[in-house]
């Protein structure tokens, strides 16, 4: 009578066979969580968002209201001082963050949408479509971006909407070239060819098959686009092309620039807020790139 061979102890099984492989999303999260600079960026951005979102609910003040004597230095009367009109700088920074971040996000989304669409179509189809779209991209790329944005804002009157659209329209060529390169690299991979064999349409291959595998560099591009849009808004406001009816960090810098030597806090503090916000977004973008990049994930 044959005997059943004894079962192999679980401890003797290889480690990879004893447990299922970790999901890619879990691995990406693990790599991101082990990145100190990325976590610092998340913490910094969380603080900025908390102040700009919940701060106005707590303060319930008007950022354009005269709060004291003009150009009062930081102290007991005004924590962060007042600007050249006597408006409270702290109130302006809390309320101004909303407009600045809104412009950055909307402009970055518009820039990514245009650039990704142009780059994906050019890289996937090639031929005359690629040539035409790349010539259009080069035309926008050689334009002086700040000057072109100034013209658009001047033509359609300064407002948060026109500023966001102007920034998005002038800042998409870099994303388009990056997306085109990724699609050129990935469109001949085996899994793409397999989708074509089973009869998948171009739209599915572009947006459901190739795009998810090209996200790592595009996510970094998106985060950089947010930082660039914030800097663009500050530059336009510095030149007097910001929305005068909505407080923003750029408007604070632009309106107080003639008094930078006598009321440095009214310019330096909003500038520091912009710097920290762009820094936080950049750190998060670098962390996401490392987490979504398989080579970096393997080194972690």
d(CA 45, CA 51): 10
Task: Indicate the domain borders of the chain.
Answer: 78-292
Structure tokens at 75: 């102290």
Predicted confidence at residue 89, as pLDDT, reads 92
| pLDDT, tens digit only, all 300 positions of the chain | 444 444 444 344 343 333 333 455 677 778 888 889 989 999 999 999 999 989 888 888 889 888 888 988 888 778 888 999 999 999 999 999 888 899 889 999 999 999 999 999 999 998 899 999 999 999 988 888 888 888 888 888 888 888 899 899 988 998 999 999 999 988 888 888 888 888 888 888 888 888 888 887 888 788 888 888 888 888 888 888 888 888 889 889 988 888 888 889 999 999 999 999 999 998 988 888 777 765 554 444
CB burial string 50-78: b at 16+ within 10 A, e below: eebeebbeeeebebeeebeeebbeeeeeb
Task: Tell me what pLDDT residue 131 has.
Answer: 93
Nearest residue to 135 (alpha-carbon basis) of 167, 188, 180, 166:
180
* Structure confidence at residue 129 (pLDDT): 92
Residue (of 117, 121, 116, 123) closest to 188 by Cα position: 123
DSSP conformation letters of 84-127: TTSBBHHHHHHHHHHHHHHHHHHHHHHHHHHHHHHHHHHHHH-H
- Rounded to whole angstroms, the Cα distance separating 146 from 166 reads 9
Kindly report the CATH number that applies to the domain delimited by 78-292. Answer: 1.10.3720.10
Q: What is the pLDDT of residue 115?
A: 93
Q: What is the pLDDT of residue 106?
A: 92
pLDDT of residue 299: 45
């Amino acid at each position: 009578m044959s005997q059943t061979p004894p079962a192999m102890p679980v401890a003797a099984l290889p480690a990879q066979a004893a447990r299922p492989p970790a999901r890619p999303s879990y691995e990406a999260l693990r790599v991101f969580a082990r990145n100190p600079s990325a976590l610092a960026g998340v913490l910094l951005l969380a603080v900025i968002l908390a102040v700009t979102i919940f701060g106005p609910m707590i303060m319930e003040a008007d950022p354009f209201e005269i709060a004291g004597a003009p150009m009062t230095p930081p102290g007991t009367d005004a924590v962060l001082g007042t600007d050249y009109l006597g408006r409270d700088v702290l109130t302006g920074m809390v309320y101004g963050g909303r407009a600045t971040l809104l412009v950055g996000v909307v402009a970055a989304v518009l820039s990514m949408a245009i650039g990704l669409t142009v780059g994906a179509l050019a890289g996937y189809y090639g031929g005359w479509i690629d040539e035409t779209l790349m010539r259009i991209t080069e035309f926008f790329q050689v334009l002086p971006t700040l000057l072109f944005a100034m013209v658009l804002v001047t033509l359609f009157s300064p407002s948060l909407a026109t500023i966001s659209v102007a920034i998005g329209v002038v800042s998409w060529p870099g994303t388009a070239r990056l997306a085109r390169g990724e699609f050129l690299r990935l469109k001949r991979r085996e899994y793409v060819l397999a989708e074509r064999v089973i009869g998948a349409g171009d739209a599915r291959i572009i947006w459901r098959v190739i795009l998810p595998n090209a996200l790592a560099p595009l996510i970094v591009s998106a985060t950089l686009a947010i930082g660039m849009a914030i800097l663009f808004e500050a530059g336009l406001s510095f030149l007097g092309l910001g929305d005068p009816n909505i407080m923003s960090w750029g408007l604070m810098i632009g309106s107080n620039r003639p008094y930078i030597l006598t009321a440095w806090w009214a310019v330096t503090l909003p500038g520091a807020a912009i710097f920290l916000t762009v820094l936080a977004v950049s750190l998060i973008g670098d962390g996401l790139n490392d987490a979504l990049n398989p080579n970096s994930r393997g080194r972690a």
